[in-house]
Structure 1
Amino acid sequence: MSKQAQPNWSARSGLSFVLLFGAVNLFADMTYEGARSVTGPFLGMLGASGFIVGAVTGFGEFLGYALRLVSGRWADRSRLYWPITLGGYVLQMASVPALALSGSWPVAALLILLERIGRATRNPPRDVMLAQAGKQMGRGWAFGVNEAMDQFGALVGPLAVAGLLAWKGDFHLAFALLALPAAITLLLVFGARASFPNAGRIEREPQTSQVGRYPPAYWWYCLGAGLVGFGFADFSLISFHFSRSQIVANDWIAVFYALAMGAGGLGSLIIGKLFDRLGMLVLVPVTVLVAAYAPLAFFGGFTLSLFGALLWGIGLGAHESVMQAAVAQMVAQQRLGSAYGVFGAIFGVAWFVGSAALGALYDVSIAATVAIAVIAQLLAIVPIAIAARRMRAR
């Protein structure tokens, strides 16, 4: 591929691309987070047991991260960053409204898994393009802006679904109406493809030892991310605790989740700007702060539990923004899609295993659950600091 085929990003064009993709993800999150906020009760209404609900949603999260290994490597080898991204969005956005047509839990479960597969497919190549576009404006800020818009959609979607269910009480109607933001998502992402056709194009360069392998800092960073993920309880466990302990009323749990998404969006903007100024070391105090989510959420009353949910949202926002931006600082562009795939898979598998372990501990001891969550998060500081120091040395 010739150099003329490469995108010539400026700070202005990069910002335009980031904002356009931010709009794409705003409506995408409005669609799938709106659906995810009620998939548990919906499966239960269709006759699924508690075990089936947990297994389907847990396996979906696992697929949503593990399959990034495949899509990331596929994108790097084929250089088809746009086609793979578009295919992932189409699959994801088609799966959510289709839930309105499902009359049995196996059909609904299949659609839920397809939605996760679509997200896994589009994320690594999309992140490569965002990393390219954000180089001039600051990658931390680029991913932070994208995540802030993303999380705004994640706030609006569940609230809209909750309001509709309170009004009509019809799950199928709620999923059908999510076809509107899904259609807007697809119009915007195909518009982005038309406006920035060269995004994601990378010049083929001779393989060297530096291009062909990931630096040690990257693996230290993946270890830190894995420990963060292990100690990061899924919100389903947190909401289960809220409901079981009767600390938070059921109709407030969805509001807590929406507020957590809003906190994640705002936090990603602030942390992203600090990342561009201070580098990876900013993740150390962020990790310490987010570790406090567990004692607040599991030991606190209504107010402290709210603060715990907000910190949980900030942690999720940091992972989806700044922690993604840091990967682009470590790995050559020729292997960035694969690097995102490996990083996402490590975080996702650790999150899945950790959530299962924390869930099992919860039935025995809430104190043990909180202790393991906090210890895992704090242990992550060491490899993250090592990675930051190695990057600074480079």
Structure 2
Amino acid sequence: MGDGGERSGGLGLAEEALAVVLLFGVVSLLGDMSYEGFRSALPVLVRGGLELGGVVGLGEVLAWSLRPATGLLADRLGAYWGFTGLGYALIPVGVLAASQGGVLLVLGYGLERLGKALRSPSRDALLGGLAGGRRGLVFGLHEAMDQVGAVAGPLLAYAALARGAGLWLLAVPAAFTLPVLAAAWRLYPRSAVPGPRRSLRESLGGGLRASLYVAAVGTLVAGPLAVEYVARVLGGVPRGSAPLLYAVAMLSDALAAVPLGVLYDRSPGAAALLPALFGVAAGATVLAVGGSPAGALAAAALSGVAEAGFETVARAMVRGGAGGYGLYGLARGASAAGSIALYSWLAGLVAG
């Protein structure tokens, strides 16, 4: 392939780079239809707040805590495509197992989260290799397409729950991720593939700033699952309709991702501040008026902007190899689990 810098495809990106970013977006769209759809149904399948926090927390710890290790290994081996492909292959397997319920729910969810740990640092390193000076835009475009699937997934889960169909149907979209990923591999400019990184500092160092940002903000803001759970506890949505709130949050995320990415390329500080403000507002809103459908929907929309910030702005902050993205992921997972635990506790206080 060409070097990715000779022909402009618009938006300040070369043609090859733009095509690969869009293909990666399609891969993530399909994957999100499966696993975000299933995640949105967790508050329905796992009724207790502590149990929900345990299942999600265990899965998220697995998904996020292993990322520095998988990122470091990918950097050492230069095996970014291999880790990315294996991670996507585990989505349909994990969702299919988790849809059976019981112990398999925990095991299958953990397997899918393991796939997340394998694929995300390497995929983000590959995206970062294409970005040049448009890091915010590249990750914003990817996140926007990713969230189209994250909107469709909860809607699919809602339809399955409403009709009494099996949630195993959510595994189907992810089965198509690998053919699209193969197309991205064929088009990817070979000169843009990150080179192996041998030292810990070289691999992890570029993720420190993003990790501190996520750790400082992420626990205090109400994420989509936290909003969904609090609204259900306070009676803002019927139990079976809870995934619709998650879909609203993901739609808000999709709409905010590209503007936040463009803003990051122009003013990183302002781009980092906005998700924190929106996320704290989401928490205050759901606790104050989450007992009404309108309040719950407003909180979900606000939480989606915060989510877009973590997935666009924070990823754009990372420099270096897959290990840096893995370090960011570790901070992201710890703060997500903390957010669910915090707002589950606060919801209990508000509900009396």
Alignment of 1:141-180 (within 5 A): 141-167=137-163, 169-171=164-166, 174-175=167-168, 177-180=169-172
Is 1:8 the equivalent of 2:3? Answer: yes
Deviation at 1:148, TM superposition (A): 0.5
TM-score w.r.t. the length of structure 1 is: 0.78
Deviation at 1:7, TM superposition (A): 7.5
Residues 220-229 or 15-24, more deviating = 220-229
2:28 partner amino acid = N
2:71 and 2:325 in contact (8 A); partners too: yes
1:21 partner amino acid = F
Is 1:94 the equivalent of 2:83? Answer: no
Partner of 2:250: 261
Partner of 2:64: 65
Which among 267, 271, 292 is matched to residue 281 of structure 2? Answer: 292
**Deviation digits for residues 109-168 of structure 1, max 9, x if unmatched?**
1011100110111000100011111225x111111111011101010111122113322x
Is 1:310 the equivalent of 2:301? Answer: yes
- Counterparts of 2:34 and 2:192, CA distance in 1: 26
Partner of 2:310: 319
Partner of 1:351: 336
- Counterparts of 1:258 and 1:212, CA distance in 2: 35
Partner of 2:325: 340
In structure 2, relative to structure 1, the CA distance for the partners of 1:245 and 1:24 (3 Å cut) is same
- Counterparts of 2:165 and 2:256, CA distance in 1: 34
1:129 and 1:199 in contact (8 A); partners too: no
Partner of 1:3: none
Partner of 1:77: 76
**Deviation digits for residues 321-364 of structure 1, max 9, x if unmatched?**
12101113xxxx3xx21111111102211332343244334434
- Counterparts of 1:237 and 1:305, CA distance in 2: 11
Partner of 1:25: 28
Unaligned runs of 5+ in 2: 6-13
Is 1:113 the equivalent of 2:110? Answer: yes
Deviation at 1:40, TM superposition (A): 4.4
Deviation at 1:203, TM superposition (A): 4.0
Deviation at 1:27, TM superposition (A): 0.5
Partner of 1:193: 185
**Deviation digits for residues 208-240 of structure 1, max 9, x if unmatched?**
x9847737xx64543221021111335444223
- Counterparts of 1:225 and 1:135, CA distance in 2: 23
1:23 partner amino acid = V
In structure 2, relative to structure 1, the CA distance for the partners of 1:30 and 1:263 (3 Å cut) is same
2:275 and 2:310 in contact (8 A); partners too: no
Deviation at 1:91, TM superposition (A): 1.5
Is 1:183 the equivalent of 2:175? Answer: yes
- Counterparts of 1:286 and 1:360, CA distance in 2: 23
Question: SS in structure 1 opposite 2:318?
Answer: helix
In structure 2, relative to structure 1, the CA distance for the partners of 1:142 and 1:298 (3 Å cut) is same
In structure 2, relative to structure 1, the CA distance for the partners of 1:302 and 1:214 (3 Å cut) is same
- Counterparts of 1:187 and 1:141, CA distance in 2: 25
- Counterparts of 1:234 and 1:252, CA distance in 2: 18
Identity of aligned residues (%): 30
In structure 2, relative to structure 1, the CA distance for the partners of 1:219 and 1:238 (3 Å cut) is same
Deviation at 1:202, TM superposition (A): 3.1
**Deviation digits for residues 165-204 of structure 1, max 9, x if unmatched?**
322x032xx31x2343122112211222233273763346
> Rg: which structure is higher?
1
1:327 and 1:340 in contact (8 A); partners too: yes
- Counterparts of 1:205 and 1:43, CA distance in 2: 42
Figure out how many residues of one structure are paired with residues of the other and give that number. 342
Question: SS in structure 1 opposite 2:109?
Answer: helix
2:65 and 2:329 in contact (8 A); partners too: yes
In structure 2, relative to structure 1, the CA distance for the partners of 1:244 and 1:68 (3 Å cut) is same
Residues 194-203 or 28-37, more deviating = 194-203
In structure 2, relative to structure 1, the CA distance for the partners of 1:150 and 1:213 (3 Å cut) is closer
CA-atom RMSD, angstroms?
A: 2.8
In structure 2, relative to structure 1, the CA distance for the partners of 1:203 and 1:190 (3 Å cut) is closer
**Deviation digits for residues 15-63 of structure 1, max 9, x if unmatched?**
111000000000100011112222444467xxxx775444222210121
**Deviation digits for residues 70-119 of structure 1, max 9, x if unmatched?**
1111111111000011111111232213345x3x5112210111001101
Partner of 1:378: none
Question: SS in structure 2 opposite 1:151?
Answer: helix
- Counterparts of 2:198 and 2:108, CA distance in 1: 42
1:272 and 1:322 in contact (8 A); partners too: yes
1:29 and 1:157 in contact (8 A); partners too: yes
Partner of 1:391: none
TM-score w.r.t. the length of structure 2 is: 0.87
In structure 2, relative to structure 1, the CA distance for the partners of 1:297 and 1:195 (3 Å cut) is same
